[in-house]
A and B are shown apart, each in its own frame.
Chain A
């Protein structure tokens, strides 16, 4: 009887019992790794396409990015596309360098594969320039995806 009265009073007075503490919710994406790992994943994913995902044991995605970036970069070099250096004299050259350098390790293979230098006097060489830039941009997207995966924001 007294319990029932007490409950009724508490209900009428608007006081509620304090909610029990809940454990922190799991991230909406996949497994979350240590935050300090993110910069390492970022550098690894940039340096070797797919390595960031491989460190996270996402083997299929790692293979996909390595094939895509490597295929685009090597094809671009074989087509004698232009590879921009860091000391460009115009803003488009700087943009080209940023895109090309996104390919990481493959950027540094350019001189080894493209021994005859670029030839953009032909359409094939122009196409090759786009292949090389696309390789860098795809690798940058892959590196960002690897970091997002490491932080648990993506599966």
Chain B
């Protein structure tokens, strides 16, 4: 399965774009900021959670102004 077919198969909406961006950015930040594998995994999960919480929180706050 090529990436393009895979990309079309998953319904790639804004939410999943945000999740993917957050996950990849978390991997980069964890690789940069922590030196042991365990610490990297914990830091990546923590960063991912913060990305999602802040992203959804900001989207929720902006929702009344979108209409």
Interface residues of A (CB under 8 A from B): 60-61, 64-65, 67-69, 71-72, 74-75, 78-79, 113, 123-124, 127, 130-131, 134, 138, 141-142, 145, 155
Contacts and interface: CB of A to CB of B under 8 A. Distances in A.
Interface residues of B, number: 18
Interface in B10-25: 12, 14, 17, 20-21, 24-25
Given A72-B21, A142-B31, 15 more contacts: A60-B31, A64-B27, A64-B40, A65-B31, A68-B27, A68-B28, A71-B20, A71-B27, A75-B20, A75-B21, A130-B21, A138-B28, A141-B32, A145-B32, A155-B35
A155 to B, nearest CB: 5
B63 interface: no
Given A74-B3, A75-B20, A78-B3, A64 B14 contact: no
